[in-house]
Amino acid sequence: MVTAMGYLTVCQVSRVFIFNYGVLSTDFSGPLMIVTQKITTLAFQLHDGMCKKSEQLTSEQNALAINVRPSLIEYLSYNLNFMSVLVGPCSNYKEYIDFIEGRHISRRLRQHSGTCNGQNGYDKAPDPSPVNAVCRKLLVCSGCMLFFLTVTRSLPITYNVDPHFVSHAPFLTRLTYAFFSIQAARPKFYFAWTLADAVNNAAGYGFLGMDENGKPSWDLICNLNIVGIETATSFKTFIDNWNIRTGIWLKTVCYDRAPKHRLALTFILSALWHGVYPGYYFTFITAIPITIAARAVRKSVRHHILGFRGLKLGYDILTWAATQLAICYTVMPFLLLAIEPTLVYYRSMYYHVHIISILAAVALHRKHKPSEPSATTKTFSSSSSSTFPCSAQCQPVHSNNNDKVD
């Protein structure tokens, strides 16, 4: 972990000096970030399988533990295969080897037949085709590309820190423009991750199983849930649906293993993995108090209104708006990169999200002091991602129930 992250950080520093805050077509950091995920994922899974006893591991860690050291060709194939070498997504070593050795689909069909009707006809039927899934994802890519060429370019992020705009536009105008410019910036990420998912599916990798309608789902290594992102009513729900495989990586190598301060350490690791631009650290450090405040508010308010349909609808609308504005405020430095424009933007916003989240976290802290975790809570973190709902909408595998708070 230290070696891989250290090497990546050295390369990220050189990237800053070479590109001078630019993002060029020759940027080499993306593939290195994916390889770092794979190397560390494999290292931890090997450590679990060869250096720990099964009773020391969670059920999820037990399922993914590797007991035999891979050969050189297996190691290189997992890290450098053409399907995910550019933008990922990162997958588990066992799942990748199942794909290479021809067990990927049959094993999941066998699991489905065993849980549904006990029939073993999976070996008599042809393997499900990924053509429909690939076409659907390529159609999403086309829509995202069209949106980027027509809308995104007309709403540049840098206009949020334009001196004339900041000094003359009213606060609500600046807030509205920030909201729509961030919304418009997302499709380029949707395009890259959906295309990467389609490439894996076209190669026959990524079969999840049969969904609730009996249709094949190819969302095993899906990296985002666009509907979940755009309709998220909590900060955590948004994160769970955004860059899903990276979220799983952070959970399995840091959050589940850190002895304390898990949330802060996970966000710091995420910032370090993304690079050394100051904007990354502004984003992920800002996310810490927002996440804590969102948890506290949810625990204090949500259970009071669940029984009232009208109030629940109003609460959902309000929390959706608050979530999207909080994401906009948090993500802006990630796109601005440098310190000076970040501070210009935060000053123009009067640091309102920082202030509100810190006050909410402090005010509600005494109401909800952490109690001794029950047996259910202790096992929750590991069990939450051990199963993946068979859904064509690509629900995040690492998503925890939002009603429960760590």
**47 is known as an active-site residue:** no
Which of 243, 365, 368, 400 is catalytic? The answer is: 243
**164 is known as an active-site residue:** no
How many helices (H) and strands (E) the chain has is answered by 19, 2
The span from the CA of 137 to the CA of 392, in Å, is 11
**Closest to 41 (Cα-Cα) out of 87, 80, 91, 105:** 91
The SS3 of residue 151 is: coil
Inter-residue contact 157 to 335 (CB < 8 Å):
yes
What is the separation, in whole angstroms, between the first and last Cα of the chain?
25
**Cβ-Cβ contacts under 8 Å for 69 (sequence gap 6 or more):** 46, 50
Which of 274, 304, 398, 402 is catalytic? The answer is: 274
The span from the CA of 135 to the CA of 148, in Å, is 20
DSSP state of 157: G
- The H-assigned helical ranges of 151-277 are 163-168, 171-185, 187-202, 226-230, 235-241, 244-250, 262-274
Residues with catalytic annotation?
A: 243, 274
